[in-house]
């Protein structure tokens, strides 16, 4: 699913290259396209799940090895967050974008981004504390 989404992002960026006006970074513009396409894909997946009565996406498997187990655990932990919180947290803390840049990428007010990041961190800390690890 990720490969297909990435391919769709780059195709859309190629087709809409003339829409980029040079305001902000090209990477932020490209990430914004990816965010909107991700939301569309998530909506389609929810509709499909509701229609077929299951929660998993067919064909999506993750191979587990010692090298990837920690990343899988982090991915599982992040999946507990709502899409918007996860996106804001990953873009700000995972990729190093500023709150202002993430607000532009996601098309949300700056205050909303700050709030989403804070609530996301609080939720992850609470989950880790319940599991017996305070995350430090």
Check pLDDT > 80 for residue 28: yes
Fold of 64-136: Arc Repressor Mutant, subunit A (1.10.10)
What H or E segment, with its residue span, contains residue 10?
Answer: helix 2-15
pTM for this prediction: 0.55
Q: Around Cβ 39, how many Cβ atoms within 10 Å? A: 14
- Contact, 106 vs 87, CB < 8 A? yes
- What whole-number distance in Å separates Cα of residue 103 and Cα of residue 57? 29
Instruction: Give the model's pLDDT for residue 37.
Output: 82
- Contact, 37 vs 8, CB < 8 A? yes
Instruction: Give the model's pLDDT for residue 114.
Output: 95
- Contact, 85 vs 119, CB < 8 A? yes
Q: Could you tell me where in the chain the CATH 1.10.10.10 domains are found?
A: 64-136
Pseudo-torsion of CA 123, 125, 127, 131, nearest 10°?
180
- Check residue 19 and report its DSSP letter: G
- Contact, 47 vs 55, CB < 8 A? no
Instruction: Give the model's pLDDT for residue 64.
Output: 45
- What whole-number distance in Å separates Cα of residue 90 and Cα of residue 40? 19
Q: Dump pLDDT digits (tens) for 79-117.
A: 899 999 999 999 998 888 899 989 988 999 999 999 999
- Check residue 133 and report its DSSP letter: -
Instruction: Give the model's pLDDT for residue 22.
Output: 80
């Amino acid at each position: 699913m990720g490969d297909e989404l990435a391919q769709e992002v780059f195709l859309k960026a190629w087709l809409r290259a003339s829409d980029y006006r040079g305001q902000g970074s090209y990477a932020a513009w490209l990430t914004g396209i990816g965010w909107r396409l991700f939301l569309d894909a998530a909506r389609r997946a929810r509709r499909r799940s509701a229609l077929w009565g299951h929660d998993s996406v067919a064909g999506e498997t993750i191979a587990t090895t010692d090298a990837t187990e920690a990343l899988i655990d982090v991915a599982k932990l992040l999946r507990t967050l709502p899409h918007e919180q996860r996106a804001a947290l990953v873009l700000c803390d995972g990729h190093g974008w500023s709150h202002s840049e993430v607000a532009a990428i996601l098309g949300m007010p700056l205050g909303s981004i700050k709030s989403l990041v804070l609530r996301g961190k609080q939720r992850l800390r609470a989950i880790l504390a319940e599991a017996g690890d305070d995350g430090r």
